[in-house]
Amino acid sequence: MTLRHLVVSVHDVAPTSRARVEAILQRLSALGITRRSLLVIPNLRGTLPIDQDAAFCEWLRGRQAEGDDIVLHGYEHVAVGAPRGMIERFRNRWFTNNEGEFLSLEYDDAADRVRRGRTLLRRAGFDASGFVAPAWLINGAGLRAIRDLGFAYTNSYLGFIDLQQQERYHAPSLVFGPGRINEDLGIVVQRRSAVLLGRCPVVRVVLHPPCVDHSERMRNILEIVDAQRQARSAITYTELLTTYRRRSLSPGSRGDVH
């Protein structure tokens, strides 16, 4: 029997987004999705180190105790340096709102930011096994840095990467982010994409805190999520990594992480 899994993640978790994230998690719990991956920004825009917010850390530890997965999501979540070349400029402009923190960094700079982020997480009582760059914008040097620093996995828009075994797996995403395009056209596109992804062993749903600000849009998102849930078992990224390693799910593509 083909194993079919659903990973629901919430990006941009930080002290300022806590109320929104809580609201999203409550809505997901009502659907029976109680194990989610939370992508935590350890020092949002360089002004909100999480280890200095005791209430936020206590709440996050509670979420982890209930089964949610904590993932390191960049360091400050802001662009650093200037994009190099037309492709990087395009990605930084259209894939994110000038938040491609790891898009253009050399190895040492990327490693330094990851270390600082991990230090803040550890001070707060967390030891994340996964790292995901803001908007998935990370170059080869950044990938080598997070692998060398011992992180077990990362992911991209279309895939999941086992960093230590250097395996890539096809794991496409349905992404719901802020903005008018996501509110209107995006919902239509994602509904159609959800149907096309029906045969994929793994589907990921990515939510952002502003999703909950628009009740009609959130209702539509939850309908899409619920349809996926009925056909799949909901797990976290860490559990997905274990599943790939222990049960040998056939990857859609394989290759070294460069």
pLDDT value, residue 195: 79
Residue 188: predicted pLDDT: 73
The pLDDT tens digits for 118-150 are 999 999 999 999 999 998 999 999 999 999 999
Tell whether the model's pLDDT for residue 95 goes beyond 90.
Answer: no
Q: Taking the complete model, does pTM exceed 0.85, yes or no? A: yes
* Residue 255 pLDDT: 46
Beta strands in 117-201 (DSSP E): 153-155, 159-162, 167-170, 173-176
Q: Which of 178-187, 217-226, 246-255 has the highest mean pLDDT?
A: 217-226
| 101, 76 Cβ separation under 8 angstroms | yes
pLDDT at 88: 47
Q: Are 168 and 257 in contact (CB under 8 A)?
A: yes
